[in-house]
Amino acid sequence: MGSIDPDPEATAAMNAAAGLPLFTGRRHTKPGTTDQCNYDAALYRGAWSCDRCGYAATADGERTMRRLTDREIAIICHYNAQGYQDVLGQPAPAPSWHTFPEERRAMVERQVARAKRGYSPRELFESWRAEMVELGWVWGPVKDPDAKPPTHPNLVDWDQLPLWEQNKDSAFQQAVLNYALMWVPGTAEAAA
């Protein structure tokens, strides 16, 4: 754990008086080293973090924090989509992440990376559709992963996609962006 600002309350009070939304000024060492980082960490949503070196800790400085990995975000988003499909009563909802084919899991991870790079819901859908076609899926009136070839009703142009499916792509994009900002206990090495 890095060294910390000796008086975080004073820093918080000065920032509050100045109308600043973040507490800044936490000095720290770079993770895994004894080198002092030249940048101050900021307190946001209950965690100190430094975008320059990757330092992160709980507000009291007692616990190391890390960001969720793309794989972890993909798992969460997969279950979000599975629940959405279930609520809509769609046939053949996605199976559990652990029984989902590896090429499809990797596809969800790539979608997470794309969302983090700023892809719009439409661009995310178009990249999903292209990857599904590459995997051999074709348009069909119902989703049937066991058909030869497998069929999916969403293999259409964006403008032909039902609104609830467009909304699902928007929700995916927003979920990725929100989860990418979250801090969770642990170290990056532990998540690997």
Is there a contact between 32 and 56 (Cβ–Cβ < 8 Å)? no
Q: For 105-128, how does the pLDDT look when each residue is reduced to its tens digit (9 = 90+)? A: 999 999 999 999 999 999 999 999
Q: For 87-98, how does the pLDDT look when each residue is reduced to its tens digit (9 = 90+)? A: 999 887 888 999
Indicate whether this model's pTM tops 0.75: no
State the Cα–Cα distance between residues 25 and 31, nearest whole angstrom: 17
Start-to-end Cα distance in the chain: 19
Residue 151, phi then psi, degrees to nearest 5: -120, 155
Where residue 4 falls among pLDDT bands split at 50, 70, 90?
very low
82: exposed, middle or buried (C-beta count within 10 Å: 0-12, 13-18, 19+)?
middle
